[in-house]
Amino acid sequence: MTQQFDGTSSYISSTELSEVVNVALALEKPLLVRGEPGTGKTLLAHAVADSLGMPLIRWHVKSTTDADDGLYHYDTVQRLNDSRFGDGDVSDIERYIELGPLGRAFDADERCVVLIDEIDKADLEFPNDLLHELDAMRFVIDETGREIVAKHRPFVLITSNAEKELPDAFLRRCIFHYIDFPSPELMRRIVSVHHPDVDDKLVERCLEKFYWLRQQPQLRKHPSTSELIDWIGALVRSGLDIDRLNRDFPFLGVLLKKEKDLSTLRRSG
């Protein structure tokens, strides 16, 4: 293997995560990533694509998404319409076949990164329906009989929020990683990427408050990395001095999004 992933200038990856990405790259198996919201699951795909110079193909899964949507779509309505109004050659079915995200990745002339985002949003059977295509990296377009075979096995990254259990047969074929919430040290590096010019002491104080907040059991939704970044941004723009931060909790609304959490915290002081 010649290409190694180790984060990018804007995406700080933990050693463990980089190692797992490299394992998945080398074994050519899909990588399933789980983790709290806001730990950068989706961004990971962008980072891998950026750092290895591979094109990124995104596939955002919704509750109505079918496994076949990822392979190809046969636009019958367009063909019907063309036959009615005489536009183009309707006998050429190939013209009405549109490849889906996986299909495009298989068909591409270079190795791609395919992001299957939030796979657990789809139907229970969705992952099972994809098993064969992810394994063999090939499929047949029934309408034309053309077989799409992956020229280069794409790097498939799958994210899940664990809303639904995924089937065992599917899990067996994946490499799995759980993105743990960043440790304060890692968080310091992440913050410095986004806010390089902020005073160290201020960052230190912010992190202290942030991790304290995350430990409050009565909160229903704990703030995540992206909220911390926004919060520090808000503090910087308002030109706040560190003394105020020592005394109270300004711009709490940036960190806590639920009305109930805000009032709970205010009450407890």
Q: Both tokens of residue 219? A: 């909160």
Query: How remote is the C-alpha of 189 from its chain's centroid?
Result: 20
Rounded Cα gap, residues 261 and 221, in angstroms: 8
DSSP-assigned letter for residue 239: T
Q: List alpha helices for the chain, DSSP H.
A: 15-27, 41-52, 76-85, 101-107, 126-136, 168-172, 184-194, 200-214, 225-237, 242-247, 252-255, 259-268
Residue 257 one-letter amino acid: K
In whole angstroms, the minimum distance from the beta carbon of 31 to another protein comes to: 8
Within 10 A of 137 (CB to CB), how many other CB atoms are there? 19
Question: What does the DSSP 8-state code read for residue 166?
Answer: P
Q: How many angstroms separate the CA atoms of 98 and 74, rounded?
A: 6
160 vs 225 by CB, closer to another protein: 160
Quickly count: other Cβ atoms within 10 Å of residue 65's Cβ.
19
Residue 250 CB, nearest approach to another protein (Å): 30
* Residue reference for tokens 């806010």: 195
Measured from the CB atom, the residue of 34 and 95 that comes closer to another protein is: 34
Closest to another protein by CB, 63 vs 246, is 63
In the complex, minimum distance from the CB of residue 96 to another protein, in angstroms, rounded to a whole number: 14
Give the residues lining the site for another protein (CB under 8 A). 1-2, 16, 19-20, 22-24, 26-27, 29, 32, 34, 63, 76-77, 80-81, 83-84, 124, 162-165, 167-168, 171-172, 174-178, 180
Q: How far is the CB of 131 from another protein (least distance, A)?
A: 13
Q: Which is nearer to another protein, 180 or 208 (CB)?
A: 180
Q: Minimum CB separation from another protein for residue 62, in Å?
A: 12
Q: Smallest gap, in angstroms, from Cβ of residue 6 to another protein?
A: 14
Residue that the structure tokens 């407890």 belong to: 268
- Return the number of the residue (11 or 181) whose C-beta is nearest another protein: 181
Token digits of residue 264? 């709970």
Helix (H, G, I), strand (E, B) or coil at 31: strand
If the CB atoms of residues 90 and 242 are measured against another protein, the closer one turns out to be 90
Q: Between residues 161 and 192, which has the closer beta carbon with respect to another protein?
A: 161
Q: How far is the CB of 84 from another protein (least distance, A)?
A: 5
Q: Tell me the backbone φ, ψ of residue 135, rounded to 5 degrees.
A: -75, -55
